[in-house]
Amino acid sequence: MTPVQTKALPAIWSFARSMIGRYRHEITTPALLLDLPVVRLNIERMAERMNGHARLRPHAKSHKCAQLARLQIAAGAIGLTAATVWEAAALAEAGVEDILIANEVVHDNKIFELTRTASRARVTVAVDDLNNARTLSDAATKANTRIGVLIDVDIGLRRCGVRSEGAACELALRVGRLPHLELRGVMGYEGHCALEPDRPLRERKTSEAMLRLAGAASAIRSAGLPVEVISAGGTGTYDLTGSYPGITEIQAGSYVFMDAARQDLVPEFALGLTVLSTVVSRQDDTLVVDAGKKTIGVDFALPRLVGVEAKTRYVSEEHTVFDVAPSCALVVGQPVEIVPGYCPTTINLHDVYHVIEDGKVVEIWPVFARGPGGGGPT
- Binding positions for its own copies, 95-114, rule CB under 8 A: 103-104, 106-107, 109-110
Q: Should residue 21 be labelled a site residue for its own copies when binding is judged by CB under 8 A? A: no
Q: Which is nearer to its own copies, 250 or 276 (CB)?
A: 276
Range in contact with its own copies (rule: CB under 8 A) among 136-144, 218-226, 246-254, 368-376 = 368-376
Q: How far is the CB of 22 from its own copies (least distance, A)?
A: 11
Q: How far is the CB of 163 from its own copies (least distance, A)?
A: 5
Which residues contact residue 3 at a Cβ distance below 8 angstroms, ignoring those fewer than 6 apart? none
- Return d(Cα 21, Cα 18) in angstroms, integer: 8
Per DSSP, the residues of 165-223 read: HHHHHHHHHHHTTSTTEEEEEEE---TTTTT-SSHHHHHHHHHHHHHHHHHHHHHHHHT
Could you give the string, one character per residue 301-340, with x where binding to its own copies holds by CB under 8 A and - elsewhere? ------------x--xxxx-x---------xxx-------
Among 226, 281, 311, 357, binds its own copies (CB under 8 A): 281
Applying CB under 8 A, which part among 180-188, 215-223, 302-310, 370-378 lies near its own copies? 370-378
| Subset of 176-215 contacting its own copies (CB under 8 A) | 191
Tell me the C-alpha distance between 28 and 261, whole Å: 26
Separation between Cα atoms, residue 281 and residue 278, nearest integer Å: 9
What pairs with residue 55 in β-bridges? 249
- Decide if residue 81 touches its own copies (CB under 8 A): no
Residue 159 binding its own copies, by CB under 8 A:
yes
Site for its own copies in 24-43 (CB under 8 A): 28-31
- Shortest CB 74 distance to its own copies, Å: 10
Single residue of 278, 302, 303, 304 touching its own copies by CB under 8 A: 278
Residue 57: closest CA among 83, 82, 77: 77
Listed as own residue / partner, the contacts of 323-331 with beta carbons closer than 8 Å and 24 or more positions apart are 323/285, 323/286, 323/287, 324/285, 324/286, 324/287, 325/285, 326/284, 326/285, 328/287, 330/279, 330/282, 330/287, 331/279, 331/282
DSSP assignment letter at 111: H
Enter the DSSP assignment of 279.
E
Q: Are 38 and 256 in contact (CB under 8 A)?
A: no
- Name which position in 198, 264, 284, 358 contacts its own copies (CB under 8 A): 284
Position among 22, 142, 158, 174 found at the interface with its own copies (CB under 8 A): 158
> CB neighbours of 118 closer than 8 A, spacing ≥ 6?
140, 143, 145, 146, 147
* 377 near its own copies, rule: CB under 8 A: yes
Q: How far apart are CA 266 and CA 269, in angstroms?
A: 6
Of 243 and 348, nearer to its own copies (C-beta) is 348
Number of residues that bind its own copies (CB under 8 A): 95
When the beta carbons of 53 and 74 are compared against its own copies, the nearer one is 74
Q: Which is nearer to its own copies, 7 or 358 (CB)?
A: 7
Q: Which is nearer to its own copies, 54 or 160 (CB)?
A: 160
Contact pattern for its own copies over residues 37 through 76, marking x by CB under 8 A:
------------------------x----xx--x------
Query: Contact between 288 and its own copies (CB under 8 A)?
Result: yes
Cα gap 288→277, rounded to integer Å: 10
Compose the 136-155 pattern: x for residues touching its own copies by CB under 8 A, - for all others: ----------------x-x-
Q: How far apart are CA 366 and CA 66, in angstroms?
A: 8
